[in-house]
Structure 1
Amino acid sequence: MKAKVVGIGIVVLVIVVGLVQLLRPLPNPQLTLQGAAESVVPGKAQFSFPGEGQSAVAVTGVGLMGATANQTPVPIASLTKMMTAYVVLKHHPLLEGEDGPTLTMTAEDEALYKKDKAAGDSVVKVVAGDKWTERQMLEGLMLPSGDNMAMTLAKWTAGSESAFIKEMNDTAKQLGMNNTTYADVSGVNPASRSTAVDQLKIADAAMQIPAFRDIVKEAQATLPGAGTVYNVDYFVGKNGIVGVKTGSTSQAGGCFVSAMYHNVGGKQVLMLGAVLGQHGGQPLMSALKANLTLLQEAGKYITTSSISKGTTVGSASVPWQSPVPLQTSEDATYIAFPGMTVTRKLVGNNLQVTAGEQKITVPLTQAEQLKKPSLKWRLMRLS
């Protein structure tokens, strides 16, 4: 009798173990990347950086191509106005071709114009009672680089200069401009300081706004009371330059953040250059010429890199079957330049590629379907 009970117990145990084995969740497929997870685009980009000051070159949405080593904060003069315009447009967005709300200039605005003019600052003429649209105010800010218009815009947007400056600095932090401090809205104050690399960050953000792009590529504009005003950026519209902002004071020297489009594989890519602290000869012209050279050099290094459909990039494996190749199910292309870091990883049914600041997701397909495990494997599995 005892033996019979033991036998029944063993049978029950076997049945229970078998059921447990059959009901256990199957392991997820293990994904294995083929090739290096991180690589660097071969070669080295060589730039003719000026011997003085600091410089940097970047591709919008792609990343920093090169920069001088001395990225320490220095006065940036009217480059400050890029952030001023950016904050205004965040508060008062303009659609492409839209003029925006109208503001009537006050006696205080006119007095500010006369005060700044007497001080020898860069100004745009303002007459009390004249009506300016938002677009015209931004043109007055960015083209003739009106210091007085910077103050008018700041008070209109935030109520006071101090409140506007706080927002400028908060925005700088949000954009990762960790070496930038704004002390005023125009750049007259030498305590408004930044680096070439940081100035490319605000230029990148601002140039993503269509209204900003439209304004900074203008060679001239007609404004109320002021008549025709001209862009201090003498190079705009020439040699492919489409902006962005000049700056020049005795403390800052000649400064320029420039922009130029370059055709890469049928796609228009925006390149940005920054040159700060040019003091010899004609400081501003030196900054303008240096930027043109940097952007022309950058264009020679920018290429495209492709991942073709059907490329095997890894494998999926399960314990009961040989690994199955994972292949891209569509073509993918990204912008590349020498020295750029490219990382790859498998996530679910996708290959995720990070190329500089670009993030590309490429769908994957299995070369063959993963099979279900056999009954024998499921009963005999140990893990």
Structure 2
Amino acid sequence: MPDATGEGTSMTAPSPPSDGLSEFAELMTHEQDLADDRDRITPEVRRARRRRGLIVTAVSLVLLLAACGGYIGWALTAPVAAPEVSTQTPQVPAVEAAVGVVPPANASAISISGADAYLGEGASGIWSSSGTGDPRPIASITKLITAMVILDTVPLASADDPGPTITFTKADHDLYDRYYVQGATIAPMPTGTAMSLHDALAAMLIPSASNYAEALSSQIFGSQNAFLAATRSWLSAHGLTGTTITEPTGISPRNTSTPADLLAIGKLAAAHPAIAQIVATSSISLPGAGQLYNTNGLLGTSGITGLKTGTLGEGTYSLLYTATLDVGAADPLAVTGVILGGDSRESVNAGAIAVLDSIRAGFHEVPLASGQEVGTISTPWGSTAELIIGEAASIFTWSDTPIVVTMDIKTPPTYQAGSVVGTVTWTAGPNTVTAPVTIQGSIDQPSEWWRLTHPSELGR
């Protein structure tokens, strides 16, 4: 048809609207193609695909189960974290008050051998002393020095060796009357009496016969001057510079010595077999001299084995003594003591016994607690038990010697009641005692569930 100009316009078909119809048509075409493909897949192909899917699924499941099984196996067998052990030092029994060992009288001292580990060595061999160290009259303790000076010149081969024969003259017999008048201790000595040197020394030391001391020293050395010269040499050779001897009996107050020197002299005398045997004899019967009794009435009391008494009158009673004390230690103690200037023989003797008894009483067994709790053991899975001292024990010690305690605790391989997990050790002086530390109460092993749910506590 012509337009307003009269010219005609050509006609064309309209385009379809863009409302998704084309996309739908394409989808339907694709689905149809897939349907056609399924129709073309054979049953064999479908079965093969199904088998492959099952295999993949099975393999995946196996791998998953293997992973879970590996964890479970590891969790059930892996080591667990070590238990926590806490300890506390065992209580130590209170020690006794210190034992005071102070010898009595104006001057005294004591030395103890065989107990250095308990008591200490003491200064210059003196463990305890009282009074001053000045020289004091020693009275008849002098005769012990006289005997050692004689035996230094005329030795005896053994304790039972009689030695040379001594025959006493009329001049020797006259000494009996001279010392009797002076109030000294004497023993019969008839003119012509013959006895061995050993027996003559016994007559001098056991009853403390002054006439025997002078007669014997004069016969051995030829004169008193020669004897005194030999005595000074003997004292000097043994370093006994605090001792002065002016005559052989001790009747002179100028015969003096210090407690330190006398302890040394006592040890020398106790080490001489013949002298040690003689001074330990309570009585003896000798031809010409008769029955003689020891002036040391303490022999056999409180372990006393010697040595010599000394008396010059009131306020001058003295005692040089030795004793063997069985106090329960590995070996008996050897005690040497001296007391100078006592008021009476009774007070001196009582003082010596008190000293020895106090030493003996100072040694004692200290019981150590059994069953005492010394710690706890706990595990990460919440199980606990006590650590206790598993056996009764005691330690031997002296007086208030400190008792030191140490413990050695190790992680136990098992956690059952009675298992030993370490030791506790007590030390006092030279003695050491050890007792086991054990578990009281059982600690069970961790449960399987705890293991599976606490992987962070495993493998340590």
If the length of structure 2 is used for normalisation, what is the TM-score?
0.53
5+ residue gaps, structure 2 = 1-96, 115-120, 365-396, 400-460
| Equivalent-residue separation in structure 1 for 2:398 and 2:261 (angstroms) | 20
| Equivalent-residue separation in structure 2 for 1:178 and 1:302 (angstroms) | 35
More displaced 10-residue stretch of structure 1: 92-101 or 187-196: 92-101
Answer yes or no: is 1:273 the counterpart of 2:337.
Answer: yes
Residue of structure 1 equivalent to 2:351: 290
Q: Is the 8 A contact 2:166 2:195 kept in 1?
A: yes
How far off is 1:89 after superposition?
A: 1.6
Residue of structure 1 equivalent to 2:283: 220
| Equivalent-residue separation in structure 1 for 2:360 and 2:231 (angstroms) | 32
More displaced 10-residue stretch of structure 1: 92-101 or 258-267: 258-267
| Equivalent-residue separation in structure 2 for 1:252 and 1:87 (angstroms) | 28
Inter-CA distance 69–120: structure 2 relative to 1 (3 Å threshold): closer
Residue of structure 2 equivalent to 1:59: 112
Inter-CA distance 177–296: structure 2 relative to 1 (3 Å threshold): farther
Residue of structure 1 equivalent to 2:102: 48
Inter-CA distance 191–337: structure 2 relative to 1 (3 Å threshold): farther
Q: Is the 8 A contact 1:47 1:294 kept in 2?
A: yes
How far off is 1:301 after superposition?
A: 5.6
Q: Is the 8 A contact 2:207 2:293 kept in 1?
A: yes
| Equivalent-residue separation in structure 2 for 1:103 and 1:69 (angstroms) | 42
How far off is 1:90 after superposition?
A: 1.6
Residue of structure 1 equivalent to 2:431: none
| Equivalent-residue separation in structure 1 for 2:231 and 2:363 (angstroms) | 32
How far off is 1:291 after superposition?
A: 1.5
How far off is 1:152 after superposition?
A: 1.5
Greater RCO structure (CA 8 Å; 6+ sep): 1
Inter-CA distance 91–45: structure 2 relative to 1 (3 Å threshold): farther
How far off is 1:337 after superposition?
A: 8.3
Mapping of 1:1-383 within 5 angstroms?
A: 46-50=100-104, 52-60=105-113, 63-94=125-156, 95-250=158-313, 253-263=316-326, 265-279=329-343, 283-300=344-361
Greater radius of gyration (CA): 2
- 4+ residue segments displaced more than 6 Å: none
| Equivalent-residue separation in structure 1 for 2:198 and 2:273 (angstroms) | 12
Q: Is the 8 A contact 1:253 1:284 kept in 2?
A: no
Give aligned pairs, total. 262
5+ residue gaps, structure 1 = 1-42, 304-335, 339-383
Q: Is the 8 A contact 2:141 2:320 kept in 1?
A: yes
Identity level (%)? 28
Three-state SS of the structure 2 residue aligned to 1:249 is coil
Q: Is the 8 A contact 1:45 1:65 kept in 2?
A: no
Inter-CA distance 155–252: structure 2 relative to 1 (3 Å threshold): farther
Three-state SS of the structure 1 residue aligned to 2:271 is coil
Three-state SS of the structure 2 residue aligned to 1:165 is helix
If the length of structure 1 is used for normalisation, what is the TM-score?
0.63
Q: Deviation digits for residues 49-86 of structure 1, max 9, x if unmatched? A: 32x41000012586321111411111110011111111
